Amino acid sequence: MARLSGRTAIVTGGAKGIGRHYSLALAAEGARVMIADISDGTELAQEIAAKHGANSVTSAIADVSDESSVKSLVAAAMERFGRIDVLVNNAALFAPLQETKCTEIDADLWDKVMAVNLRGPFLITQAVLPIIIKQKSGSIINVSSSIGRGAYANFIAYATSKWGLEGFTQTLAAELRSSHIRVNSVEPGYVATKLTGFHGSKPDSVTDVFVYLASDEAKGITGKMLSSSGWKSQIK
C-alpha cells in the first residue's frame, strides 16, 4: 500500500517550481492533492490525474496572503475530498527578488514578502487547524530556506521572513504537541527548477523528506527543522 493512501494534502505554491515536485511526490505515494497556487495548476492536475486517477487531485487559484481566498481554498478541498491531513506551506515570494541593501529596499516590497511568506502560512494554517484538530491527526510542513539560517547579505526581507517561519514552526509545534498534530520545517536548499534557472540539486533529491513527514513514519516527530541533505540523521 502507498505510504499516503487515503490522505489529502494541500500544497501551496504547488503548480510550479519545487512545489510542482512536492505535489507529484505526494500523489505518487497515494495522497489526494489540492494544488493551490496563484498560477493555474490545471495542467499539472491533469498530469497527476492521468497517472493516479481523476479523484487523486484538484487545483485552485489562490492567494495565500488573502484571507477570503484561503478560506475558499480550504472549503474547496473539504468539499472535494472530505478531509485534510497534510499542509505543505510552500508558497513564497523569492524568485523575482533582487539583491537589495536594507537602506534601499522599498517598504511596499518588504510588506509583500512578509504577506506571502509569513502571513500566508499563518492564514492557511489557521483555517486548516480546526479540521485536523477535530480529526486528531495531521502534519504541517513549512518550507524554510538556507537563506533564513545564514547571513546572506542583501536578502534581508526574504531572510527575515524565513527566520519568522522558523519561529512560527517551533511555537506552533509546542502549542499543538498534545493535539497529535505535527509541525515541522524543511530546508530544501537551492533546487534546480525553471524558476531557479536550473541550478542546484535535482528536485527528486528533496522530496523524500516531505513524504516522510506526511506519513505515519514521522509519528512523534514535531518541532524539527530538517535539511533535505542528510535529513535522516537529523531525526535521531
User: Domains in the chain, ordered, with CATH?
Assistant: 8-227 (3.40.50.720)
Q: Got the DSSP string for 148-197?
A: GTS--TTBHHHHHHHHHHHHHHHHHHHHTGGGTEEEEEEE--SB-SGGGT
Residue 190's pLDDT band, with cuts at 50, 70 and 90, is: low
Query: Mean pLDDT over residues 57-75, rounded?
Result: 98
pLDDT of residue 192: 55
158 is known as an active-site residue: yes
Residue 101's pLDDT band, with cuts at 50, 70 and 90, is: confident
Give bridge partners of residue 29 from the DSSP assignment: none
pLDDT of 34 over the 70 cut: yes
pLDDT of residue 184: 97
pLDDT of 204 over the 90 cut: no
One of 22, 158, 190, 212 is an active-site residue; which one? 158
Query: Mean pLDDT over residues 149-164, rounded?
Result: 81
Query: Mean pLDDT over residues 1-28, rounded?
Result: 96
Are 18 and 206 a contacting pair, CB within 8 Å?
yes
Query: Mean pLDDT over residues 101-105, rounded?
Result: 86
What's the grid cell of residue 197? 534557472
Mean pLDDT of the chain: 90
Q: Look up the pTM and report it.
A: 0.91
